[in-house]
Structure 1
């Protein structure tokens, strides 16, 4: 698998060839520290003064490197896939090897940090449902299928509550329930537990 980098990320990473290899290693250390403890603007300012470049350049370089390392760790890229992902950036071989060493060195800690981050998924709040059945109709000769209407309320971090409306027939709902129960049963197997253990 290869990473697909947006033009914005390519621009941010384009700063790396302009600095010394030791600075790239320091940027990698700063990126990992920021993932653990949050960003610190003073570090950007100090690095910008030393390199005689604008603060935004340093910030974008560190954030671009942080994105590259976290995405590579998230998808558990192999060495070959990581290097192939860097080809689109057009970096020199020496810089590619430095970035590879950073990735290999920080891969484990990054996976640990990513596993501790809370997902930004909406949480269940409540569910209201109604069964709609047409009892009779002169125009319909075939069997009337009842429909289940569901109103799902979700709580999203910082956004309050959102609602979703669903409509389904009983057959589809039964199939969905069976698929979810099958997925839960598969999670209890030893094979799934072994995979989850390796992900952590």
Structure 2
């Protein structure tokens, strides 16, 4: 699977072809620091003074390189796919190899940073339910009004432990929800969905 680069992104990365490979490696280190600790204008200013270019040019190049490494790590590109993706930039073979080495060296650290930034979603633990039936009332004579109360117990990823969510629904609402979920599961088994999932992987 190849990484598709926009024209703006290609323009930001084009600056890398005008500098030495050591500068590209230094930009890679700045990229990793940017991911771990955030942006630092002083680093951009120092690099811009050293190279004799504007601060915006350096910042765009570093952010373009960061996007390239981030997206490549997120899609877990192989060596061949990465080289094919940067081939459209028109860089020399040496610069392409430098970018590949940068990607291979930083991929493990970038993936660990991405894993830390990912939200910890609650996980299903158990479900308790109760059926409440109002046999009759002055407003609803001789009619049953059942309501199902659900206690959904979730285990959160952080130290807070279990969380209980109370839900109330009528049986007709639950039946409708069940039919919608069954349709979604059937749609996942269709050829169209399988083709999309194959392309995503």
| TM-score, normalised with respect to structure 2 | 0.62
Matched with 1:39 is 39
Matched with 1:67 is 67
Q: CA separation in 2, counterparts of 1:7 and 1:109?
A: 28
Is 1:174 paired with 2:173? no
Note the C-alpha offset of 1:116: 1.1
Note the C-alpha offset of 1:175: 2.9
Q: CA separation in 2, counterparts of 1:37 and 1:180?
A: 41
Structure 1 unmatched ranges of 5 or more: 122-168, 183-200
Q: CA separation in 1, counterparts of 2:176 and 2:86?
A: 45
Please give the secondary structure, in 2, of the residue aligned with 1:15. helix
In the TM superposition, 1:37-186 aligns within 5 A as 37-119=37-119, 173-178=177-182
Q: CA separation in 2, counterparts of 1:68 and 1:179?
A: 38
Q: Deviations over 1:34-82 (max 9, x none)?
A: 0000000000000000000000110000000000000000000000000
Note the C-alpha offset of 1:181: 9.4
Matched with 2:133 is none
Q: CA separation in 2, counterparts of 1:179 and 1:46?
A: 58
Equivalenced residue count is: 134
The CA RMSD measured in Å over matched residues stands at: 2.3
Residues 109/179 of structure 1: CA separation in 2 closer, same or farther (3 Å cut): farther
Q: CA separation in 1, counterparts of 2:179 and 2:16?
A: 52
Q: CA separation in 2, counterparts of 1:93 and 1:104?
A: 16
| TM-score, normalised with respect to structure 1 | 0.62
Deviating above 6 A after TM superposition, structure 1's stretches of 4 or more consecutive aligned residues are 179-182
Matched with 1:164 is none
Q: Deviations over 1:6-54 (max 9, x none)?
A: 1110000000000000000000010001000000000000000000000
Please give the secondary structure, in 1, of the residue aligned with 2:100. helix
Q: CA separation in 2, counterparts of 1:88 and 1:81?
A: 12
